[in-house]
Structure 1
Amino acid sequence: MRWLLLAALPLLATGCTAVHDPFLETGSIRPDAPPISTEVSPEFAAAYLPSISGRIESVRQTVRGDFFEQAIVYSNATASAGENVLTVRVGTPAEGTAFLRAPTRRAILAEMRQALPGVAMRINAAAGQNTHGVYGYATGPLGTSGSCLYAWQFAKRTAPLSETAMGRIGDGNYSAQVRLRFCHPSMPEERIAALMGGMRLKPVTSQTFDMLRYAGGSGGLRSQPVSVRAEPVAVIDEGAEPRRTPKRRIVEEARAEEPAVIRNAVRVPLPDEAGQHKVTVTVAEKPAEEAGEKRTPRAKSVLVPMPETAALPAGD
């Protein structure tokens, strides 16, 4: 029995270590977190509409591997809820069947009900056409004079084929799924479909993905709020005791208000009415002690001869 127990110990140890422990295998678990959507500058938009649609307000994008999605938002001047948005999804056929063929009618109806709730949309039997091929669209009235548009398109290639074999490798096999939801307060149904007719996709190659990853990582430049330092405001409380001013400050202010004293004035007499007036002019002079000079005696008066009164013209 003793030898049987010793022989069974390795088997028991092996059975214990064979139990699945997720805490010991966390390094092999693949992260399934969704990619983060970032906002980029409108210049990185993968598509654009004609100028009658207005300007691009924002571009939100998600990039992962060989797939990216952009929501290109235009201004909405109507009172209806929702965004006027051009959605572009670009990827390879390896990403799924969405990049192999156009959407089905059933899928379009579900998308349209979610994008335009409460609007009576009608699918046009005649397909439209633009630079990238044919597209389908539906229109519906909005208010008294406005309308809404929902359009969809599948572009099999997002860039023209290069002439060389190396160029074709760099182009990649990218397809695009495009959706447009747009409402206008005064554009009729006959005219709003022209927005999808003027839609243009920018060429998408493998280099485009690198550019979009850089744009999403760098972020859009926005004006940051400037911090302004507020100066303290004095609040006067009538019930509080008056603040006492230091005596030294009072003395300095009093000295600043005292008139200047003129020392060692020099009297300069001018000629009198008889021909020699004596007029005293006071001139300020720096004390000799302050200037560091030796005091010297000076004459206290100087006679300046002037012309006789009778020789002057009358009135002078």
Structure 2
Amino acid sequence: MRWLIPAILPLLVAGCASTVHDPFLETGAIHPDAPPISTEVSPDFAVAYLPLVSGRIQSVRQTARSGFFEQAIVYSNATASAGENVLTVRVGQPSEGMTFLRAPTRRAIVAEMQKALPGVAMRISDVPGQNGQGVYGYATGPLGTFGSCLYAWQFAKRVSAERVGAHAAQVRLRFCHPTMSQERIAAVMGGLRMKPVTRNTFDMLQYAGGSGHAQSQPVLVRAEPVVVVDDSVEIAPRRTPKRRVVMEEKPAEERIVIRNAVRVPLPGEETVKVTVSEEPVEKPKTRAKSALVPMPGTVALNVE
């Protein structure tokens, strides 16, 4: 036993010190690569727009972060074909990868076009077009009897208005119209215009897509209390106390009593003097055995 215990003890210590890989214990060291979240912003924040013949912008979905943004600018689709008429603009620095260093290959464009316009026989034009951002490629195809579809692509090497921090852009356009011919619909991409991209553009788009976007803020409404009345219980009518009316007492100076008033006659009326007296009229006192003073020419009579 004295020999066995020292021999087993180092093996137990070595077993406790061995490393055991437990994924539940190591999840804190994993850096997840979550996809960016796309948010919807006002059409006023669209960085590019098509000519008026394309209609109005319906919505703008975007993903924005520092030095990079992607917008899907959606126009109305008046055709019976499935899919959106959407102008996609991706802007970033060349350090983001090969996407912002060169134009797409023909094979990549064909794969994108088949996914965006399934069942439409698209034909790539041998003559490229040109707009305010430079040269672009496009393909057109018939849609029904009168309509047509357009798929255009463009690589703008420099869209930044500042020398420091140059940014490039990848542009895609999927557009169908029920009455436009193939020759006319090709000019839609020619009327594309882009806003200048500056350092403030990325901050503005991040603010528009974040919590600072005030377009969908809730409105607080004050709710009135709900009163539940039980019909089985008789409720005595509420008596409303009568309001006590207090007459305003005028000061003594304003209480004027007019006595012996004289009425002023109007034209054509007779003048009548009316005397009103509230004091009692004293009766004249009779004198007994008053002496009659004779007047001149009269006979004096002695009356007892």
Classify the TM-score, shorter chain.
0.5 to 0.7
**Counterpart amino acid of residue 145 in structure 2:** T
**Shift in alpha-carbon separation, 1:248–1:30, aligned structure 2, 3 A:** closer
The residue aligned with 2:90 is 89
Aligned residue for 1:212?
205
Alignment length (residue pairs): 229
TM-score, normalization by structure 2: 0.67
Code of the residue aligned with 1:221 in structure 2: it is Q
Query: Structure 1 residues 227, 220: closer, same or farther in 2, change over 3 A?
Result: closer
Three-state SS of the structure 1 residue aligned to 2:135 is strand
Residues 231-310 of structure 1: matches in 2 within 5 Å? none
Which letter does structure 2 place at the counterpart of 1:109?
V
CA deviations on 1:164-185 (whole Å, 9 max, x unpaired) are xxxx1xxx23211100011111
Aligned partner of 1:148 in structure 2 is 149
Q: Which amino acid is the alignment partner of residue 125 of structure 1?
A: D
Cα distance in 2 for residues equivalent to 1:161 and 1:245? 79
In the alignment, structure 1 residue 61 sits paired with structure 2 residue 54: no
Structural mapping, 1:3-42, within 5 Å: 3-15=6-18, 18-42=19-43
Deviations 1:47-91 (A, max 9, x none): 111111111100001124433211000111112111110001112
8 Å CA contact 1:134, 1:153 repeated in 2: yes
| Residue 102 of structure 2: aligned partner | 101
Please tell me the root mean square deviation across aligned C-alpha atoms, in Å: 2.9
Contact kept in structure 2, 1:39 and 1:219, CA below 8 Å: no
Match of 2:215 in 1: 221
TM-aligned CA distance change 1:130 to 1:11, over 3 Å = same
Shift of the 227–7 alpha-carbon distance from structure 1 to 2, 3 Å rule, reads closer
CA distance in structure 2 between the partners assigned to 1:158 and 1:151 by the alignment: 18
Task: State the percentage of identical aligned residues.
Answer: 66
The alpha-carbon distance between structure 1 residues 74 and 11, as it changes in their structure 2 partners (threshold 3 A), is same
Equivalent residue runs for 1:85-234 within 5 Å: 85-162=86-163, 168=164, 172-217=165-210, 218-219=212-213, 221-222=215-216
CA contact (8 A) 1:121 1:138 kept: yes
- Go from structure 1 to structure 2 and tell me whether the alpha carbon gap of 1:248 and 1:44 turns closer, same or farther (over 3 Å shift): closer
Unaligned segments of structure 1, at least 5 residues = 163-167, 233-242, 253-316
Report what 1:310 is aligned to.
none
**Secondary structure of 2:71 counterpart:** strand
* Contact 1:148/1:182 (<8 A) preserved: yes
1:122-171 deviations in Å (ceiling 9; x for gaps): 11100001111100001112222221110000011111343xxxxx1xxx
Alpha-carbon distance, 1:216 to partner:
0.6
Q: CA deviation at 1:213?
A: 1.1
Give the match's secondary structure for 1:23: coil
**Worse overlay, 112-121 or 147-156:** 112-121
Compare the two structures and name the one with the higher helix fraction: 1
Q: Offset at 1:99?
A: 1.2
Structure 2, gaps ≥5 residues long: 240-304
Query: Equivalents in 1 of 2:13, 2:159: separation in Å?
Result: 63
Shift of 1:222: 4.7
> How far apart are 1:215 and its partner, in Å?
0.6
